[in-house]
Structure 1
């Protein structure tokens, strides 16, 4: 089903792209609009146009919106069965195809806060050994969110984040820093974090394993197609791609073959069509006829070939240019003898130098698909560029041929076929869904008629009982009226007292926490919220020792236990902690009993002061 297009919303997306450099136009509109709406509700704005004004006026709002749009949900070894398949099957096969000293390149695309990249590091370190891992393995971890990358580089995680790591690996690869777990520094050097927009930026190249889990599900079909094409380019021959459990490259069966469909593991296919046929120059050169007439025929055939073609010598000097190439790229006979790198053609319409070097070194043909080229008159053409090595009978390099095929018509037809197929699929799904809904509705209506008939009889009986009860309630109502009046006065007094008590707690510049005798939180003031990042509603009723905050509560247990048993006790301790902003702080905690007028200990009160704020 086509997603509704809202003009104001599209204007907002274009503003984010043009002024901030973040292109969300390729995201699925339904989920994207829902997340933007969520942020708009938080700031009390109802219209996209008004929110655009708010973005332009508020410097800090963009960061908040960005955090809302990007869902950095990740974890160590998320979907354990899939990671086990990676460990037992994929990695051994990958290593078996390479020599003992060959480098291994891995790309973790959309790495969020780094757990996925470090999971890969642990598996490969186990597979090849720590020394070999440091020498051979490079893991490139990329994301578009700079804040998430900053967290990933710190490699510091709380206890909840490392729950899925087997104990043996946790002890081998992590050290303790207070209540947090820090990934091994030596192994961490093999993981390189950097910003990369999958939709706009160039992919990492020559990758043996590409891991991109649950990033494609947020992109529309066209953007997914473009990203998957970049992934195909990034992968080395026989390279593996590891996707999320809801992702499937259905429209790219010619590029990826299933390796383990259940766990979304795919292998890059070697496209048979990518073996480019010999260029016209090569074909004519292999003719057994060698006479002046044939030589001239060969030159004319190359000159007037319908496909634009340029031939380089082995040192990348322009040797031949045919007429179609002169017309398409503004070249002339004067360019013969110049080096390729000195011509605009070397980088426009595509960066050719790397492919030429590959043809020279590896003696292999390359194909650059879907290259956009603006022709004379600002008309857009789509090219497919073939870079072929020219070799002699003994595989010696003679030169390199570069041919430019115009595939604009083919691309337009393929796009139209894909669009038509998508519409047919959507129409079929809608028809099937409508049919099922009609059948269900019919059954529900029949059931509702029967229920209404039964309910009507029950209502008649209930009405008689209500008339009798109404008389009894009328006499009781007068009594309740007097009681309510008295209770109302008492409630006002209690409300005032509670308000006074809450204002005192929230006005304090120290964190105040009160726990009952079971060490469950009963009071959590505003300063505690600011220090640890959880609200009083989230904290109340929870065991203080089990709270997932940056305060090492286990170190405070002896003080609380003492305060619950000694009415005269007053304990003081200073601890290292991590506040809600992820910063290390020094906190002084004073603990004393909490008693009523009868002298019984009802709980313990903790006063927490951020010494780091005072010293600043």
Structure 2
């Protein structure tokens, strides 16, 4: 342990202690004191920021119990540099202010204090080396499933980055290896979303990219406000991928400032959505550390934020504009009739298919002449026919073209245990899985036995043992089952492509149980209908000749596609011949009937000719009506889409209302607790105490006052001359009017009554509420 006096070289195994009220900075080689007269000392933000610049992805930042929000801004820099951020669990922290000030999107691990040391040891000592060959294919298949479920494109990520971020989640969940973590994700679906979030850099800030927001404020928003006023409708904005809410609140601030002096201002609805539930919950709170506002003008902070301890809370007039909700661009319906959409630095993470779907959602959502804003590395090229470039440098596009239908959800869940063969892509392609914990099959059974089992079989042949491990397969079997790797000693069932692997496994199991061969017809399941192949599959047991118990199974497969097609065509032809014979008999009977009716038809021909014009006119009317019905049907389809989108909007609004209701209940509970504390205090005050509001309603009274009123319930209050005090001059009424007074009174008109002194003092609460406080004590010496 060493105290830093000026500067010192960084050495392993040394704990550096910073002197009180001094700041410190870290470089790649040294730690040194830093003079800075602003903010708390020592500054955690300065320490984290300098360390992030020096060490990048290798840095681990830990935020423990404490008050204030120092460290929140520095932790953002750590996350942006690719480092790891760990916080103490706020529920167990003595002072949870500092851990809670960090946005969920920048926190990698939340842990109790007694576990943080173990986590640091695991992160530092185990590292993030490449997994063994036996786990690489399993990992790649798992990443492919994550990509297919979420639409996140991992092809742009380097393999060390993938492994490093995966390792953090493994450590956070206490999983020792990749297979264990994959099982954990399948059992805990919420962990899959946490893993996806760990791959996305969602660091944001208020008015990020000032040039863009200046252009929106000066050019785009005034135009949209004017259009909304002309329509007499709401101004509707959508921040898609809002993260922790800074972008959405920045939009609200601009709109609020533009509408401040507009008497005809339209109602404003800003929808702020993100896939991450934790990020949405943080944004919905609307509380940010002071350093998050450091780049905002002081006048803007004063207008739109309220001091909340060491942090700042978004003002109510700003919060009322926004509706926060969890929303998946790959699954959910869009919001309709939107004037402006901001979706910055979101599409870059998507696969091309999901990019196109997201742009189609935006095209549906935007009004004609609405605007779409993308990130600097994003483009509308996947759906360029519906967007025109408005400001190319700032990536602002205008909505053009016809109305579009929003696409159905294309994503589907990847269920655990799926029998679909894995599709290997990316950096781990080409590595085949081994059967862990088992002795290679060829060590137990000689290759000559496997070859002997194949003698006389002129088709696709595979020899497997009871564990489905391959001992031999010929080239025809490789072609039929789509096996293009070494395959020996591998699990045959899991290597099968094109056919139902479960059916083949059941056949092997049945032969193993009964000892008799099994046959079945298999049809390819992943090829176009007109290109599917049919295979006759046979499984037979083959006992070893040396008396050992281990049994081989000879699997033969013959391509019978042409034979099956001929059989099917023959069956169809026979069916057609039968139908033709029946039809011919019916035609003969019909000819006889036609011959007898030809004369009558000729006589009626003239009548039919006369009615042709009427029929033609009726036909045209039917065609016109059909056109109208088609137009009505399209209109109904459009209305149905808008209703679906409106339901989605209302669901999001309901979630927001429920969150606000919970906040109001918490405030009411806190107020009731405060009231009980005040009652306990005034009950201990000597004499009677009562507090009334401007309407004369009793807000608070102690037990002495309640007892005094109860004992003189029917008595008349009189003054020093034994005259009844008028109702309007009673102490409580004078206190309600805000008067300050001192009055002597008694209950009843007898000289033997006790005399009291009532003192009135007006007070005003912090929120401007006027109250009157009356204190009543018995006059000393009165009987």
TM-score, length-scaled by structure 1: 0.43
> Which has the higher Rg, Structure 1 or Structure 2?
2
TM-score, length-scaled by structure 2: 0.34
